[in-house]
Amino acid sequence: MARQLDEQIVGRYPVGQRLRVLDVGMGQGTQALRLARAGHQVTGLEQDSTMVAAAREALSAEPEGIRERMRIIEGDGRDTGVHFLPGSFDVVLCHGVLMYVEEPDPLLAGLARMLAPGGLLSLLVRNGDALAMRPGLAGDWAGALGAFDTTAYRNRVGLDVRADRLSTLTATLAGIGAPLQAWYGVRVFTDTASDGTEAPADVEALLACEERAGRTDPYRGVAALLHLCGVRG
């Protein structure tokens, strides 16, 4: 997904331009730190205090120049209007968050308002059109049958969450003024790997296959996750 995001940024902004980035639901700050290291001015917004502490600890180990380029705010992603003025950012990330939000449209509208004209909105969501893939590949036929006609599922940590369909999000992005420009699949071949599985010796070949499948039909349509990129009009 990082490669996909970089592709969109490079294709939209001049090389070397320092962008204003907002990472909503940044978790432990993996993407935020990566972009700060690349020279961008990054703000991370996260409501989980444990994740905030982990992100701050990771940031504290970085060189001073990177620490100066990144700030961390503890808060709810639905309250971006409380913290920032409209149009304050060139790039807004919201990765792995929508599945925990029962009504995502107000959150998405708020994210779009944070973008400057021409700004990039990057979403990573659970693919609601492929929920039967994981149980089906695991031989859980009852689970697969039950997944065809729903967007609700139980994740690997046992939480009842929700997925998003590409068609629905495409319509939503158009409605909030950040129409879809590109989309990718994420975890096409590797979704069935158990947590904690070590990377194989040929990890570069694995990544090459995932990257190719993530941009190629019909493979991307059955990916576990979808990476959607909208652009503010």
pLDDT value of residue 193: 81
pLDDT value of residue 196: 73
According to DSSP, residue 18 is labeled P
pTM for this entry: 0.95
pLDDT value of residue 192: 85
Whether residue 49 contacts residue 57, with contact meaning beta carbons closer than 8 Å, is answered with: no
Burial class from Cβ neighbours inside 10 Å (0-12, 13-18, 19+) for residue 160 reads exposed
Which regions of the chain are under pLDDT 50?
none
Which residues lie below 8 Å from residue 201, measured CB to CB, with a gap of 6+?
Answer: none
pLDDT value of residue 121: 98
Q: Which 3 state secondary structure label does DSSP give 80?
A: helix
